Structure 1
Amino acid sequence: MEDGRVRLLARHIVDFALELQRGDRLLVELHGEGLPLALAVVEESFDRGARPFVHRHDYRLERALLRGADASLLEEIAAFEVARMEKMDAYVDIRGTENLYAWSDVPQEKLDLYRSRYFGPLHLQRRCGHTRWSVMRYPNDAMAQQAKMSTKAFEDFYFGACLVDYGRMERAMRPLVDLMEGTDRVRVVGPGVDLAFSIKGIGAVALAGRRNLPDGEVYSAPVRGSVEGRVRFNVPFPYEGFVLSDVELVFREGRVVACSCNDGPRLEAILDTDEGARFPGEFALGVNPEILHPMADVLFDEKIAGSFHLTPGNAYANADNGNRSSVHLDFTCIQRPEYGGGEIYFDDRLIRKDGLFVVEALGDLNPDRLS
C-alpha cells in the first residue's frame, strides 16, 4: 500500500517545483532506491499531460564504469546525456543510496575525470541553468543510519522536512531577499570563523520548495575575489564516496589558499579540479525549521535552521558572480548556541545572532514562527 505522503510529495514535485504543463518533456532519473516516488511522479506527470522519460541508475554499475572509463568515454557519455537534457523541459532526480561509501574505492584520478568530464558539463553547465529541475533523496535504512534514527522515525522526519509550508516560507523569505539585494559587505564571525566579503550587485534567490527537497535557503554569491579570512565548518560533507569533516578554509583575495580536514590530500585534489574550484560560487543562509542537526547528507544539512554555507565552485546563473567550475561544495556551518554560536552582519548591521534573526522584518524566518 502506498504511503500517502509519497503521493503528496510527487504532486508537490510536478505542480510546485517543476510546474509541469501539458506537452512538457520530463526526465525522471532514479539512483538506487526510491521506486515508489518515481512511480508516483510518472503517474502524476501523465495526469497533467506531460511526457515522462525514465532512466534508472545503479551505484554499483556506476562504480564499475568509473573505475574503467577514460576521459574520452566520459566525454562521449556526457555528450549523449547533454543532448538528451537539451530536449527536456524538466528534470527530477530521486536518490536512495544504500551505501554512502559506494564509490570509496574509485581511484582519485577517476573521480577527477568524472567531475570534470561528466558531472560538470551535464549538471552544472547544462541542467542547472537551462532546465526546470528538482532533486531529492528517498528515505531508506541507510539514510536512517546516517541520521542515527530508526527507519520509521526517519521517514517521519523526512516527510516533515520535505513537506513544510513552502508558501509560508516563501513569503517569510522576501524581506531577506530584499535585504541581501541591497547589501554590499557581509561579515560572518564565530568559533573558527572570521570572514568578510561583498555580495554587491549579485542578487539573492529564495529557495522554498522549487528546487532540491527538502528546501529552505536564501542564497547569493560573493563577488569574485572579495572573500578574506578563514572558516571552520562544523557539518560533515559527503562527496564521491567519502565524508570530509572538520573542513577549514583560508581565503586571500577570494581564493582558497590553505585548507585542512580529516583527509587533506583528497580535499586539495578536489579544489585543484579547475581554476574556479578555489573561488566561492555561493553564500546561503539555511532556514528549514524541521532540520536542526547534521546527518552527512548535503540536501538536508545545507538547509539546517541557523546555518550558513559557503560554496567553493560553480555559481548559479540567477545569482552569478561569474565563477565557473565542475565542483560545487556546499560546506555548512551551524551557528546555533549548541554548535558554538556566531553572528552575521550585513553592512555592519547585525542580522543574525546564534542562529536567530534579530531584525524584526526577518523574524518570521526563525523556527518558532516558521515551523
Structure 2
Amino acid sequence: MAGIYLHIPYCKQKCSYCDFHFSTNLNSKNELISSLLKEIELRYQEINEPIETIYFGGGTPSILSNQELDSIFNKLNKHFDLSSVKEVTLEANPDDLTKEKLAYFQNTPINRFSIGIQSFFEEDLRLMNRAHNALEAENCIKLTQDFGFDNLTIDLIYGSNTTTHEMWRQNLQKAVDLGINHISSYALTVEEKTILNRKIEKGEWKPINDKHQSDQFDYLVNFLESNGFIQYEISNFGKPGYFSQHNSNYWKGIPYIGFGPSAHSFFGNKRAWNIANNAKYINNLKNNNLPLEIETLNLKDQYNEMMMIGLRTIYGIDPILVKSTFGKLISAHFDLEIEQLFKENLVQQIDGKIVLTKEAKFFADGIASRLFYVD
C-alpha cells in the first residue's frame, strides 16, 4: 500500500506563525493546478502499488473550486489504483466549510476533514491572524457534522501569551463537547521570517514562555487521556478508530508520493521533494521538466530517521530491528545511548518496543537527537 499527498500552496491571508510554503496571491492558481495535473502524468509510475490514503494539504486546499478538485480526482483515478483507498483527507479553514461546499463534498471521495480551528477565542485568533472568528470555528464543526461527516480532526495551538490556562481548558472542553474524535495540537513556535518573529524582535509582542507551554502540554495530555483519546504521536490524539491513517503510514515508513510545489515523497531508501516556488514549479512543468530533487538515504540517515519518528509515536523503536538492519557500529551506539535514557527514566519498553515515558514526551525531539549516529 502507498499514499498520495497533494500540496495546494494558497491561503486567503498569512497567519502570523506560519512558515509553510504558500501564497496569498491567487492569480496563478489555474496554472498551478494544470501543472500539478501534468506532474501526476509524468510521475505516476513511481508508485506501482495500490493507494490506501490521499491527503490534500497546504496552504488551504479548501480554497480550491469544485471544478479544480474534480479535475484532480479524475487525474488520480486515471493513473492510480484507488480501489483500496480508505481515507481521503482535506485540510480546510472554518470559513470555507459552507453549506454549498459541504453539499459538494458529499459527492466526492473526501471522507475526512482537518479543520484549522487553532482556538475558540478571539484573542488567540487575532494574534495568529486567522481568517475566521470564534463563532465560525464552532459553527463549522456542527455544520460539517450535520452533513454526515464524523471523521473530523481539528488543530489547536497552545502556549500563546494570549492563551491563559483557563482558556486552554475551555478550548479542549469545547472540542470534547462538540464530539471531535481527533485533535492535532501544537505549541505556538517562533519561526524565522514570520510575522510573529518580527513582532517579538521589535518588542511589540512578548517572547514565548517555555514553562507556560510545557504546563499547557501536560494539561493537554492528561485531559484528552481522561476523555478517551490516545496520544499516538506527540502532537496527535485520537479516539480508537479515528487515528489518521495517512500520517500513521508516514510514521511507519510506508511509501508515499507528493505532488505540488514543496511536496515531499518517500520510497524506502529514497526521498524526493519539489521546488518550493510556485512560478518555477509552473515553468518547469510547462517544459515537461520535473522540479524535483532526489536524495538516497544511507544507513546512518535511515537510522536517524527511525529514531526521530519512532520516539514520537506509540509504535516506538524495535531494538531487534535496529540490530538486524544497521550493523555493529550503529547498533553498539544505540545500545550505549538507550541504556543511559533508561537510567534517566526517559524511555521505557512496552511489548518489546522502546517508547518515551509520559514525562519525557514534551522533550521528544531533543531526546531522539541523543540517539542519532554521527560519523
Task: Give the TM-score of the pair, scaled to structure 2.
Answer: 0.26
> Greater Rg, structure 1 or structure 2?
2
In terms of fraction of residues, the more helix-rich structure is: 2
Q: Which has the higher contact order (CA 8 A, sep 6+)?
A: 2
- Normalization by structure 1: what TM-score? 0.26
